[in-house]
């Protein structure tokens, strides 16, 4: 729905109206504004962010590039080059919230960690929380591991808290017998937290998401696809050692197979398998809203 024009100005649109129009979740649109500065360019402080036709045209261009295989980051770069003023990318991170999470993790205060992450999830949603709070917190801890050594206990406490908070995100009410997408880690892969973030983000969008967790044998994934009748499957690999293309051989009812995670970066993907770059990319490709891929 367009807002009433101000003094004859061009109409402006809410984020929900733009999401319906171009077939992209509202959480993804907000994330693109935060991460890439692709969004409402004439935002007035204290007022709702409203999109102009020019803003929407830029978003449609970005979606078109992604559907042709570009990553969200490279698509945003291309779109920004065409914008007046050539805006730089921006990543908005609440430094105070990040410091509080890292401090709680270092104290192994998991109760406070869960409270902080829950609060951000409720206020900002899954995508913003994952991209701008959880991932940066892990990066801080990992950097300290390299400098000071140790910190494995801190990383585990943070992982547990993030996993706990993501699991609190409301599950979709859609029955898994008509699931849209199945999530699983490849055999030998135990790093499942990014898939948990994807499950939570998709569930918040109303997409039925059975997740069968880490270290899943290929036969078990195939059985799960048959059992749930899922239309697609995402196979996560964090390292090259778990990125075996054999795990992607899931031919059955014509399901669409996606390879996600950095483990696949150097792998030769089988024909028809689609690489997923990040959480934003995954939400576009797996959203329950009709798309024109």
Q: Write the pLDDT tens digit of every residue in 124-134.
A: 788 888 988 99
Could you tell me where in the chain the CATH 1.10.1660.10 domains are found?
Answer: 2-81
Cβ burial of 158 (10 Å; 0-12, 13-18, 19+) is buried
With a cut of 80, say whether residue 66 has pLDDT above it.
yes
Task: Give a three-class secondary structure readout of 249-270.
Answer: CCCCCCCEEEEECHHHCCCCCC
Could you tell me where in the chain the CATH 1.10.1240.10 domains are found?
Answer: 95-168
What is residue 234's predicted lDDT score, i.e. its pLDDT?
A: 95
With a cut of 90, say whether residue 289 has pLDDT above it.
no
What is residue 189's predicted lDDT score, i.e. its pLDDT?
A: 96
Q: What percent of the chain has pLDDT over 70?
A: 83
What is residue 127's predicted lDDT score, i.e. its pLDDT?
A: 83
**When comparing pLDDT for 236 and 19, which is higher?**
236
In whole angstroms, give the CA distance from residue 209 to residue 82.
37
What is residue 194's predicted lDDT score, i.e. its pLDDT?
A: 94
Q: Which fold has domain 2-81?
A: Multidrug-efflux Transporter Regulator; Chain: A; Domain 2 (1.10.1660)
What is residue 10's predicted lDDT score, i.e. its pLDDT?
A: 55
In whole angstroms, give the CA distance from residue 21 to residue 231.
24
CB of 219 closer than 8 Å to CB of 252: no
What is residue 261's predicted lDDT score, i.e. its pLDDT?
A: 94
With a cut of 70, say whether residue 98 has pLDDT above it.
yes
Residue given tokens 């697609």 in the structure block = 232
pLDDT in tens, 166-205: 998 875 444 454 568 999 999 999 999 999 999 998 887 7
With a cut of 60, say whether residue 31 has pLDDT above it.
yes
Q: Which fold has domain 95-168?
A: 1.10.1240
Could you tell me where in the chain the CATH 3.40.50.280 domains are found?
Answer: 176-286
What is residue 36's predicted lDDT score, i.e. its pLDDT?
A: 81
Q: Is the pTM of this model over 0.95?
A: no
With a cut of 90, say whether residue 35 has pLDDT above it.
no
Instruction: Report the CATH superfamily, name and number, of domain 176-286.
Output: Cobalamin-binding domain (3.40.50.280)
What is residue 93's predicted lDDT score, i.e. its pLDDT?
A: 46
With a cut of 80, say whether residue 160 has pLDDT above it.
yes
Confidence grade of residue 290 (pLDDT, cut at 50, 70, 90): very low
What is residue 145's predicted lDDT score, i.e. its pLDDT?
A: 74
Confidence grade of residue 85 (pLDDT, cut at 50, 70, 90): very low
CB of 182 closer than 8 Å to CB of 234: yes
Tokens of 10: 């061009």
What is residue 215's predicted lDDT score, i.e. its pLDDT?
A: 96
What is residue 212's predicted lDDT score, i.e. its pLDDT?
A: 93
With a cut of 60, say whether residue 45 has pLDDT above it.
no
Helix (H, G, I), strand (E, B) or coil at 8: coil
Confidence grade of residue 122 (pLDDT, cut at 50, 70, 90): confident
């Amino acid at each position: 729905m367009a807002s009433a024009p101000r003094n004859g100005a061009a109409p402006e649109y809410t984020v929900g109206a733009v999401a319906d129009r171009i077939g992209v979740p509202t959480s993804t649109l907000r994330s693109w504004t935060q991460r890439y500065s692709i969004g409402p360019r004439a935002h007035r402080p204290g007022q709702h962010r409203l999109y102009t036709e020019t803003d929407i045209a830029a978003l449609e261009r970005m979606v078109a590039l992604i559907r042709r295989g570009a990553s969200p980051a490279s698509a945003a770069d291309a779109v920004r080059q065409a914008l007046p003023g050539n805006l730089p990318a921006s990543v908005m991170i609440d430094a105070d919230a990040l410091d509080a999470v890292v401090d709680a993790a270092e104290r192994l205060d998991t109760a406070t960690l869960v409270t902080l992450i829950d609060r951000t999830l409720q206020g900002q949603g899954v995508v913003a929380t994952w991209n701008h709070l959880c991932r940066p917190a892990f990066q801080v801890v990992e950097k300290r591991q390299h400098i000071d050594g140790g910190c494995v206990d801190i990383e585990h406490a943070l992982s547990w808290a993030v996993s706990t908070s993501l699991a609190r995100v409301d599950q979709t009410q859609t029955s898994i017998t008509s699931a849209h997408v199945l999530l699983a880690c490849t055999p030998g892969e135990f790093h499942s937290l990014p898939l948990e973030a994807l499950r939570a983000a998709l569930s918040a969008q109303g997409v039925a998401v059975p997740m069968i967790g880490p270290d899943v044998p290929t036969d078990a994934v195939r059985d799960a696809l048959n059992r749930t009748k899922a239309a697609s499957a995402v196979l996560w690999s964090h390292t090259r050692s778990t990125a075996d293309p054999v795990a992607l051989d899931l031919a059955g009812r014509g399901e669409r197979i996606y390879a996600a995670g950095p483990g696949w970066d150097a792998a030769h993907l089988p024909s028809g398998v689609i690489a997923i770059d990040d959480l934003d990319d995954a939400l576009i490709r797996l959203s329950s809203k009709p798309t024109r891929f």
